[in-house]
Amino acid sequence: MRESELSAGETPTSSEFALIERIIMRLGESAARDILVPPGDDSAVWVPGGGAVVATIDSMTEGTHWRPHLSSMTDVGWRAVATSVSDLAAMGATPEVLLVAAVLGPAVTLNDMDAFIDGMAEACRAHNVHVAGGDIVRGRATAFSITALGSARLDRAQRAIVMRRDAAHSGDAVAVSGTPGAAGAGFRALERHLTGLPADEVIAALLRPHARIDLGFNAVNLGVPCAIDISDGLVQDVRHIAERSAVGIEIDLDALPINQSAIALFGLDTARDLALAAGDDYELILTGRQQIIEALEGVTIIGRVLDQHPGEVVVRQRDGAPYPLPTGWDQLRAWPLAQH
Amino acid sequence: MRESELSAGETPTSSEFALIERIIMRLGESAARDILVPPGDDSAVWVPGGGAVVATIDSMTEGTHWRPHLSSMTDVGWRAVATSVSDLAAMGATPEVLLVAAVLGPAVTLNDMDAFIDGMAEACRAHNVHVAGGDIVRGRATAFSITALGSARLDRAQRAIVMRRDAAHSGDAVAVSGTPGAAGAGFRALERHLTGLPADEVIAALLRPHARIDLGFNAVNLGVPCAIDISDGLVQDVRHIAERSAVGIEIDLDALPINQSAIALFGLDTARDLALAAGDDYELILTGRQQIIEALEGVTIIGRVLDQHPGEVVVRQRDGAPYPLPTGWDQLRAWPLAQH
């Protein structure tokens, strides 16, 4: 069946090959033509830029990771790319290639697929990555799995030069990029049907996150040993570092860069709690020697690594008292996620 | 939550990290400890054996790709690995690393997960690949996506040396490995609740396929330019070669290596039709110069590549008349697949 026989709005009942051709056409320059073995071949062949391959896989499912009434399929496509690529950015790797597996539920239309592909293509352009292959199957519910492949350089001992979660050391400074809490504020704004500025700004932070590829690349080149991206929430993701590195981490409440739009919408207290716990920002948390961290652009130092209380994170108020960590936000994020 | 708090038979409501730890323990030697960035890190880091990376992604969904009453989750786990790795074998690449994304539907139990992991681990050992990373999320229906990464050597012009679908040339011999139709007979045997030999043998061919990694590797090293694995059915997969290579292909009906157990179970006519059309065998079809193909072990020459009728496949009977291709079998295989 030829592409012309597919019409918008139909459930995609046409052959897999016709759909793949349609997707490749629609991806445009975001299809990795140079490395793509012709559509229909079994596998993509790719020569990575560095000596090491950095690889990650992530899945998104309807209801759990997106709610059809809150985000368009274009947003879902963007987010699928950006959040996968963010895992590579957090290691300081350079994302290059994506493989996309789509499980299409019974209600998926060609319009949905087109919108998803458009969002993916936009995010591919914004993050300088290309789709090199994929798979499309039918299932009972819609889900997408994206594998992001990137490259990292090797050191003289042939070990990949990457940032890891287990590489924080006592005395390191802890920094964060951007203004966490924006995405959490965006979720609140969406749920309350807020529109216009500043709501649109935080909604964009939620629906159209940008992976911090350049920051990760600069950080690894400067010798920053440890980073993570904020998906689960700042404190939770700092805790991942504390646990894996067997260190304690102290965050200064007043040092947190709070999103101004979040403050304008929901007040300082809520905006701060969103910054600490809401997640989905895909900013980077980095730890390293103070002078190296200070050389990085676009980050704010928010705390320090301690040799006491391994695995623990404490947020300090100005008077030194621990700030009671907000609860509740992470119910949106914690695994297992609710079935909507 | 610690692993001990998870008990078999429960729905896995515990934390993602506990489940990941459990999976890594259960994978045993099939977890890629040497290249695995510690569990919980964002990405796997891997230095491929050859200069080029060969990458493929495949999804399996409950109902579409397996039916709970016909195959165990251990079989599903095996099959997920073997069929993904088969895509690399078909290009002559050496499979090395897997990334596994699991979308767990509401009814999935820890027993199911354990069985799936056990099947994966067995297939990893059989195919000499290791799981280097993954993702687990909740969804409305169970699905698995596996990315298989392998390596291929580069030629002097820095192009990967792989077999492709578009590289068949007029005058080439066409060969197939093993005895196609075994898996199709297995499906029939399963549906009819046949047990004992020879049914068990063809059921194993369906549920526990072996990717032809060594054959693919030997073929690419001998200079075989073109191959595909049999997933859609022999004639359909030969047609993929014919279309991509813009050649005609002629198959000799009498030359087909028919599975003896399939004949014993269902008679020669049915076994032959299963060999032509049933699919799921994951044997390799290869085309190349006759003398090269003859040097390969474990394959049978079944036809030739023509410069006439590009994109077409004809199966010839002994008297030269075209054999009417069986229909019906491929309804199980054709996309979109039925929703069970």
What would you measure as the largest C-alpha separation in chain A, in angstroms?
70
Where in chain B are all domains bearing CATH 3.30.1330.10? 3-152
Phi, psi of B301 (to 5 degrees): -75, 125
Residues in chain B: 340
| Average of per-residue pLDDT across B41-70 | 84
Q: Name the CATH superfamily housing domain A173-326.
A: PurM-like C-terminal domain (3.90.650.10)
Mean model confidence pLDDT for chain A: 87
Provide the number of CB pairs (under 8 Å) joining chain A to chain B. 258
Return the pLDDT at A10.
39
**Chain segment A21-34, per-residue pLDDT in tens:** 788 888 888 887 66
pLDDT for residue A285 is more than 90: yes
Its CATH architecture, for the domain A3-152, is 2-Layer Sandwich (3.30)
Contacts of A149 (CB under 8 A, 6+ apart): A46, A48, A53, A54, A55, A95, A96, A97, A98, A99, B53, B55, B149
Structure tokens at A14: 């046409």
Contacts of A338 (CB under 8 A, 6+ apart): A64, A331
pLDDT tier at B35 (50, 70, 90 boundaries)? low
Where in chain B are all domains bearing CATH 3.90.650.10? 173-332
**Chain segment B68-94, per-residue pLDDT in tens:** 777 899 999 999 999 999 999 999 999
A337 touches B: beta carbon within 8 Å: yes
pLDDT for residue A214 is more than 50: yes
Return the pLDDT at B261.
97
Q: Which CA distances in Å does A39 have to A27, B165, B261?
A: 13, 10, 36
Q: How far apart are the first and last CA of chain B?
A: 36
Mutate which of B6, B43, B60, B241 to disrupt the A interface (most A C-beta within 10 Å)? B43
Within 8 A of B90 by CB-CB distance, chain A residues are: 42-43
B135 touches A: beta carbon within 8 Å: yes
| Average of per-residue pLDDT across A157-177 | 94
**Chain segment A256-281, per-residue pLDDT in tens:** 999 999 999 999 999 999 999 988 99
Where in chain A are all domains bearing CATH 3.90.650.10? 173-326
| Average of per-residue pLDDT across A234-239 | 94
pLDDT for residue A319 is more than 70: yes
Within 8 A of A140 by CB-CB distance, chain B residues are: 61-63, 105, 140-141, 339
Return the pLDDT at A159.
87
Identify which has the larger pLDDT, A97 or A4. Answer: A97
**H helix runs in chain B, sequence order:** 16-27, 73-89, 110-127, 182-191, 199-207, 213-222, 234-245, 260-266, 268-277, 290-294
Return the pLDDT at A33.
67
Helix/strand/coil for A334: coil
Return the pLDDT at A335.
35
Identify which has the larger pLDDT, B9 or B80. Answer: B80
CB contact under 8 A, B97 and A55: yes
Q: Bridge-partner residues for A284, per DSSP?
A: A229
CB contact under 8 A, B55 and A147: yes
A244 touches B: beta carbon within 8 Å: yes
Domain B173-332 CATH assignment equals 3.90.650.10: yes
Return the pLDDT at B151.
93
Return the pLDDT at A42.
64
**Percent of chain A surpassing pLDDT 90:** 69
**Chain segment A324-339, per-residue pLDDT in tens:** 987 644 433 433 333 2
By CB neighbour count within 10 A (0-12 exposed, 13-18 middle, 19+ buried), where does B329 fall? buried
Mutate which of A20, A66, A103, A145 to disrupt the B interface (most B C-beta within 10 Å)? A145
**Chain segment A39-86, per-residue pLDDT in tens:** 555 678 888 888 899 999 999 998 878 887 778 999 999 999 999 999
Average the pLDDT over each of A9-18, A176-185, B60-69, B157-166 and give the range with the smallest value: A9-18
Scanning every residue of chain A, which has its alpha carbon at the shortest distance from the alpha carbon of B164? A41
pLDDT for residue A144 is more than 60: yes
pLDDT tier at B329 (50, 70, 90 boundaries)? very low
**Chain segment A103-131, per-residue pLDDT in tens:** 988 888 889 999 999 999 999 999 999 99
A149 touches B: beta carbon within 8 Å: yes
pTM for the whole structure: 0.89
**Chain segment B262-314, per-residue pLDDT in tens:** 999 999 999 999 999 988 999 999 999 999 999 999 999 999 999 999 999 99
CB contact under 8 A, B103 and A37: no
Helix/strand/coil for B265: helix
Could you give the dihedral angle defined by the CA atoms of residues A327, A330, A335 and B1, in that order, rounded to the nearest 10 degrees?
-30
pLDDT for residue A134 is more than 80: yes
| Average of per-residue pLDDT across B306-330 | 87
**Nearest chain A CA: its distance from B266 CA (Å):** 31
| Average of per-residue pLDDT across A160-184 | 96
Return the pLDDT at A303.
98
